[in-house]
Chain A
Amino acid sequence: MAAYPTPPPDDLARAVEAYLRFMAEGLDEAALGPEWEPFFAVRIDAFGTAEDGP
């Protein structure tokens, strides 16, 4: 991901592609380590369930 997308405002298809590319590349670069396997480590209800923070 070299830079932010600057979607051309007059070209919907290219703008959508730019957004999608940015998001997919950024997710890949998270490089989650083995501690984030298996996938049930995901807790989308994490907020508000712990005593002091998620």
Chain B
Amino acid sequence: MNPADLDYGPLAEALRQGQLTWGEVVSAYTERIALRNPILNAYVAWSAKASTDPPLPGSLRGLAVAVKDLIDCAGFPTRAGSSFFLRADPADAFAVAALRLEGAWMVGKTNTHEFAAGGTTLNPHFGPTLNPWDRNRLVGGSSGGSAAAVAARMAVAALGTDTAGSVRIPAAFTGVVGLKPTYGRISRRGVVPLSWSLDHVGPLARTVADTARVFWAMARPDPKDPTTVSRPHRPLPEPLRVGVVEPSPDLALPWDPEVASLVKTAAGWLEAAGARLVPTTLPRWKSSLAANFTIIRAESATYHRRWLRAHPDRYGVDVRTYLEAGMRVPAVDYLEAQRVRSAVVADYQRLFETVDLLVLPTVPILPPPVAEAPLVGFRLTEATAPFDLSGLPAISLPVLGPSRLPVGIQLVAPWWHEAWLFAVGERLEAARGPMPPPDGVLA
């Protein structure tokens, strides 16, 4: 088997046993990236040379990681998907340094929606990233390059950022696992901000186990990011009470029937494993979306205001629109959005007294055709943004439906209980069976 096709457990074992050399691993990845990246445009920069040869010993020794080009990574410039932003020679972000300390190999930087301000990764400056399952459909975003790199076996894992769904949406559209941790779990130091009170760093990988490995290596307080803390978690309750989220009557558009059916199937797998299913819906769903959008737009416009005034033409049209809207958010709406946020947090505290986990689609529609990108913007974040607003940890797990397109099943846990997402996620993986590689990149 090509070493680049291996998940981390078998790869680490083969390296330990001497069945593979480090040089063979590096060669496999460089050949793979040279072949597939010109088609998919997942990486915007990569290097055939690992920073340490052989890799440092550690829990992630030799694990190939792709880093979203919003996150500083020594050896590569940070450009944030922008025509003008440049940190030419950055030090590692806290999250990257944590992985490197455990022996991980930073392969390169991945394409992003410009400044992470959108969900399509149709980047006007670096080109679009294509979906490995079907190149005519959206890859999702904003961490689209990271998701495509993992799905197309150009990395074992990747780092992304998630402010309204930017890790989970592309994970769902490319058939990989994506985690948005609890707000405050992973430092954002060395990450270009989109919206500082909503930004999260999160890992993507092809399995729950690899996602968990990368997550635990980064999940530690950073004295220079005062939002980070460490909190214990309780043991997973048995029997598990799973809230099966139903579409909101307030939100005008229905879920795609194939997506809705796959969520029911996944809930059935949990029930077969002993869980008790409880129908539920998300509290103040519409308002939590509006609050999320208001806060993101106001905070991102604050970060960009000088550049936006000085050279608005250097932004892509959609991101310029996004930021111009932010410039016009009244202060009273921003404050009201933060007040709504407090109410939504209290709503979820009450909800998690009656259930232990939530299950719902990551995105309520199948990966749409690229031509429909201008029409689907808000639908992409409909089921993800409420958990950025509330800070709850959420994971997207891939399944494959009759249309042969990947769909994300989203699990949500109480604050600081990522371990529950990993435990239940592995149960879902076992019930699903192996996820095949994407068709599009092999065609």
Binding site for B on A (CB under 8 A): 1-7, 9-10, 12, 15-16, 19-20, 22-27, 29-32, 36, 39, 41-44, 46-48, 51-54
Q: Please encode chain B, from 205 to 245, with 1 for each CB lying within 8 Å of some chain A CB and 0 for all others.
A: 00000000000000000000001110100000000000000
Docked Cα-Cα span, A15 to B88, in Å, equals 34
Docked Cα-Cα span, A51 to B12, in Å, equals 37
> Nearest A residue to B325 by beta-carbon distance?
A19
- Cβ of A42 and Cβ of B297 under 8 Å apart? no
Interfacial chain B residues near A12, Cβ < 8 Å:
317, 320-321, 324
Interfacial chain A residues near B340, Cβ < 8 Å:
27, 30, 32
B197 interfacial contact with A, CB 8 Å: yes
> Nearest A residue to B197 by beta-carbon distance?
A44
Known contacts A9-B374, A26-B287, A54-B391; A47/B184 CB under 8 A: yes
Q: What are the nearest 4 A-B pairs in CB distance?
A: A26-B290, A53-B415, A30-B287, A4-B378
B252 interfacial contact with A, CB 8 Å: yes
Known contacts A47-B227, A52-B231; A4/B252 CB under 8 A: yes
B335 interfacial contact with A, CB 8 Å: yes
- Cβ of A48 and Cβ of B345 under 8 Å apart? no
Taking CB atoms and an 8 Å cut-off, the chain B residues in 371-399 that contact chain A are: 374-375, 377-379, 391
Contact of B290 among A15, A27, A42 (CB under 8 A): A27
CB distance from B156 to the nearest CB of A (A): 30
Docked Cα-Cα span, A30 to B342, in Å, equals 11
Max chain B Cβ within 10 angstroms of own Cβ: one of A7, A15, A26, A39: A26
- Since A19-B297, A32-B340, A36-B343 are in contact, a sample of 16 more A-B pairs with Cβ atoms closer than 8 Å, ordered by chain A residue number, is A10-B317, A12-B321, A15-B321, A22-B293, A22-B378, A24-B290, A26-B286, A27-B287, A27-B291, A27-B340, A30-B284, A31-B287, A42-B335, A42-B339, A52-B414, A54-B415
Interfacial chain B residues near A4, Cβ < 8 Å:
252-253, 377-379
CB distance from B349 to the nearest CB of A (A): 7
B13 interfacial contact with A, CB 8 Å: no
CB distance from B324 to the nearest CB of A (A): 5
Known contacts A3-B253, A6-B375, A36-B342; A53/B416 CB under 8 A: yes
Interfacial chain B residues near A44, Cβ < 8 Å:
197, 338, 341
CB distance from A9 to the nearest CB of B (A): 5
Interfacial chain A residues near B287, Cβ < 8 Å:
26-27, 29-31
Interfacial chain B residues near A41, Cβ < 8 Å:
339, 342
Docked Cα-Cα span, A32 to B344, in Å, equals 10
CB distance from B376 to the nearest CB of A (A): 9
Interfacial chain A residues near B231, Cβ < 8 Å:
51-52
Docked Cα-Cα span, A36 to B344, in Å, equals 11
Max chain B Cβ within 10 angstroms of own Cβ: one of A19, A31, A46: A19
Docked Cα-Cα span, A9 to B375, in Å, equals 9
Docked Cα-Cα span, A17 to B366, in Å, equals 28
Interfacial chain B residues near A26, Cβ < 8 Å:
286-287, 289-291, 293
Docked Cα-Cα span, A44 to B297, in Å, equals 17
Interfacial chain B residues near A46, Cβ < 8 Å:
342, 345
- Cβ of B415 and Cβ of A52 under 8 Å apart? yes
Docked Cα-Cα span, A7 to B322, in Å, equals 10
- Cβ of A1 and Cβ of B286 under 8 Å apart? yes
Known contacts A41-B342, A52-B416, A53-B415; A25/B290 CB under 8 A: yes
Q: What are 10 contact pairs spanning A and B, CB under 8 A?
A: A1-B250, A16-B328, A24-B290, A24-B333, A27-B290, A39-B339, A47-B184, A47-B391, A52-B231, A53-B349
